[in-house]
Amino acid sequence: TAGITQAPTSQILAAGRSMTLRCTQDMRHNAMYWYRQDLGLGLRLIHYSNTAGTTGKGEVPDGYSVSRANTDDFPLTLASAVPSQTSVYFCASSAVTSGGADTQYFGPGTRLTVL
Amino acid sequence: GQNIDQPTEMTATEGAIVQINCTYQTSGFNGLFWYQQHAGEAPTFLSYNVLDGLEEKGRFSSFLSRSKGYSYLLLKELQMKDSASYLCAVRDSNYQLIWGAGTKLIIKP
């Protein structure tokens, strides 16, 4: 079972260029998330989606946008990359039960370097 | 503000026991998670506590005290493969996870 896949695995991007990080899950989870992970800091939520067709802003949304056209895919777009967006990006998903969002499961990550 | 505190790094010996502490201050509480993350890999789920007390799962146990805003992860019979970062995360009143920076555990033979 694939679970959650992310692409690309790594990327070097020139500042000012745009890029879309892809995330696909096959677990039929309603909720999906994008995090960035930087050395010495905890995972920080960029954007999330509780169900297809809806998205919300997390702790650090500036410079990023997302869409959720269907249950499986949750792409993250950087419209005009800046060096401070150099990070490891993780996509995650979870089921949503009557008690709220369940355990989150993570994709393998995308290592992005903006020069 | 919301805050999750855990030690930056710990060292332990193969075969021993180690306890990794996590203290939290969050707006609301809807459960606490522990994840394991090996270098260069994704976090993987270890345990979940929502009620006070100890949850045991093989060599790993997790404890929660909601009144003290405190949890710990206990790893027994340490193996070299347990060398990893251990992340504490609290689910707040909005059902979003607030993450600690992680504890890097180094296992020595």
A44 touches chain B (CB under 8 A): yes
pLDDT at A37 > cutoff 60: yes
The radius of gyration of chain B from alpha carbons, rounded to an integer in Å, stands at 13
Closest CA to B88 of B19, B3, B9, B4: B4
B43 to chain A, closest Cα gap in Å: 6
| Contact yes or no for A106 and B33 at CB 8 A | no
Find the CB nearest A106 among B43, B96, B100: B43
Give me the percent of chain B exceeding a pLDDT of 90: 91
pLDDT at A99 > cutoff 70: no
pLDDT at B7 > cutoff 70: yes
Find the residue in A nearest to B4 (Cα): A42
| Contact yes or no for A104 and B45 at CB 8 A | yes
The whole-number pLDDT of residue A1 equals 57
pLDDT tens digits along B16-59: 999 999 999 998 999 999 999 999 999 999 999 999 999 999 99
- 3-state class (DSSP) for residue A80: coil
How would you write chain B as a 3-class SS string? CCEEECCCEEEEECCCCEEEEEEEECCCCCCEEEEEECCCCCCEEEEEECCCEEEEECCEEEEEECCCCEEEEEECCCCHHHCEEEEEEEECCCCCEEECCCEEEEEEC
Task: Identify whether the C-beta of residue B32 lies closer than 8 Å to the C-beta of residue B19.
Answer: no
The whole-number pLDDT of residue A96 equals 80
The CA distance from A52 to A49, in Å, is 7
| Contact yes or no for A101 and B4 at CB 8 A | no
Give me the percent of chain A exceeding a pLDDT of 70: 95
**Residue B82 — φ and ψ, nearest 5°?**
-80, -5
The CA distance from B90 to A115, in Å, is 34
pLDDT at A19 > cutoff 70: yes
At A71, the amino acid letter reads T
Which residues of chain B from 54 to 73 reach within 8 Å of chain A, CB to CB? Answer: none
The whole-number pLDDT of residue B95 equals 83
